[in-house]
A and B are shown apart, each in its own frame.
Chain A
């Protein structure tokens, strides 16, 4: 009779999620032996976060006998040959993220390709002299500026290394998901059904959505997303400095139109991330290279937005602090000036913020931009995603070692609680900072000036940041 059970046919009843693809009842689910291939984990989205998730799980000891699939809509890219010129899409990688990438063996590859460690971050206001400097007391690196392509190259190599358990499906865009019914009733499959654009089907015990801020997984799971489009776009470019320097400082200045940041790539090159209004961004892209370079230098050097009142108030506050805490004001370094921009390296993309109200559901988890989207001003975007991976992989590894069903809500909720606790405050703070620095109104400028100066003087707060 157990053989009869195994051969039992059942109809996969459609869960009532309004989506254009499910017009009628699906074809009957054949027995496990001949149905769509069943995976333990399917990661949807082959960007930095999705690829890292698959690589970390693939290198986990308790997943050594499991089957993982990574779905990537695009084709496989060959990263064997790194071009001499730098790519304009870079990320600031925190030490924690570097640790995660080491755990799956990818960091070594990154180091052997190229990266730029930085020791110091100087952040200051365009409307006042207020400045805050972050640096570690010991000689450790604060973070690393790495091209996104370099990270992808490293992750692709590490995915190849565990090809026996991780199958990367390129040119495989998921177009629909069918969720299992809540309680284990009768003959319906308990797994998530994934439908690909080319008609192929997969089943999985756990679906991880790493498909970006317009996540299809999130939409199909009907998870509410709090989102807001900023009226800003980010302009990126690869710049060449006027003169070679140690270039181990990351610079960011808050202009009324948005923050402009210079991230070191090498002793002579830096990456630009300039968040500004859509119109201004288009202008920057359209102008000739010389004018573009002039705009950048002027943005960093000009004091046009200062007002006497603010300057005086700021100076008073600073002397007050130095009475209380003599070392409380840091030395202001001067940012490098830019000489040239790499042709063809200018690009822009719109900015927004988003946060999913839930990160998990039965058999589904969201990570990276699918779960949360932030303004680049804090340089945290991809680090939040890597933090999600570290947390989720930890819980999944423990669940696998306990023989648990990987899609069970119990450990997925632990992941959600931990990460929401961590992410929400950072995302909210980033949003507040963005709004606070988008104004020239004197009271707010004074507030943030004093705030920044005070924060600069207070070690405990700085360390936490």
Chain B
């Protein structure tokens, strides 16, 4: 299990590097798909299967699809993939950074341990992932209201920023 988790986490870091190395948005979205997918599997390995499902549906199936369509509006004839020298330079740089950070933290800087969510299930009243969502609707009502307000605010902010079609620097294509 530890080997699977290690492989998944390495895959996640490689995916993050593939996004951060600044390729064309198509390929960056592909990298994001990899990161989110692997992240969901990591989350499942820790027992948060419900949260993993919600993340897959909403993030990958909703937001990333919308982003892919928006990126398609700004398509270019010769997109920069990870084979291009400019992107490859960034990839190598970030790989070096990861190796450096890994060697800095080698030997354990933390005193804690991996504790999967469902391991304490005999000592818990609610499962940590779906129970948390249920709590948001009962005791955590205030946080639910604040979160809903933030989402509404984000909508209003985006609408205000893109209002006016052709005027200003944010133009409708």
Instruction: Answer yes or no: do A and B interact.
Output: no
